[in-house]
Amino acid sequence: MSARAGGISQPPWDSCNLGDHVQDDAEAVRHNRAVFAQHLGAQPVWLQQVHGDRVLRLSADNLRAASTPIADGALTTEPGIGCVVMVADCLPLLLAAPEGRGVAALHAGWRGLAGAGQGMAVGRGIVHSGVAALCEAASCGPADLSVWLGPCIGPAHFEVGPDVLAGFGVDPTDAARTGAHPRFAPRAAGSASGDVGGDVGGGGKWLADLPGLARDILRALGVRHITGGDACTVSDATRFFSYRRDGRTGRQAAGICLR
């Protein structure tokens, strides 16, 4: 997982911005990506992320392709290929199958987690797709996987509206009355609204626990080995880019490979 330090980008992308879609200098981004690849120890395949549930299986052909594939996850069973996702508040997940049989990287905003994006099956998002795809490719079960949750917007800062609760099958009216859902804490309206992965509209009324929601989905799928998810991009401006905090900013990345 990269942090924001260690590159050559100038403010407001300072300094190790890896995003080529945020109006940063293209040469600076190329330099920063080369530094990232050196530390990863593999050639990264960068994705055009759209908050969907497509997981692309990578091979040597992807290393030679000129175009950027559209997907929110990547897996590989071949050494030397980097599965990489970019984030600046969304949740990155890195997955590993046993005995070096496969790895995957997933990009999850709330829409991707909930399966609430366009053309997605409600309740079956990027984590469902990623776990299923890696298990099939590596001939293993979910209980065999190890999953790491990277830095993302933390539950103290992720203010959402009722459509986010509905996306996870939570009745907003019932949540407002009881305040009992473990991943959504009631909050008075009037503070900053918005979300990671799409506009919520109407002002925020709850604080959502994005890594907690991911853990719930992983456990429901049978994944037992889960670590990470305790670093907040919004609250740590020195280490991380945060779109929610800064607006015009860079992107860090999480990557995994077989060596």
pLDDT digits (tens, 9 = 90+) for 151-161: 999 999 999 99
Q: Which helix (H) or strand (E) holds 34?
A: helix 26-40
CATH number, domain 1-154+211-259, options 3.30.590.10, 3.40.640.10, 3.60.140.10, 3.40.50.2300? 3.60.140.10
Token pair, residue 102, equals: 């496969």
Residues of the chain with CATH 3.60.140.10: 1-154+211-259
Token pair 């992807």 in the structure block, residue: 62
pLDDT of residue 86: 98
Does pLDDT of 179 surpass 90? no
Q: Are 233 and 3 in contact (CB under 8 A)?
A: no
Token pair 């999850």 in the structure block, residue: 108
> What is the spatial distance between Cα 181 and Cα 178, in angstroms, rounded to a whole number?
8
Q: Is the pTM of this model over 0.85?
A: yes
Query: Among residues of the chain, what percentage have pLDDT more than 90?
Result: 78
pLDDT digits (tens, 9 = 90+) for 181-209: 789 988 765 444 444 554 333 345 899 99
> What is the spatial distance between Cα 78 and Cα 29, in angstroms, rounded to a whole number?
26
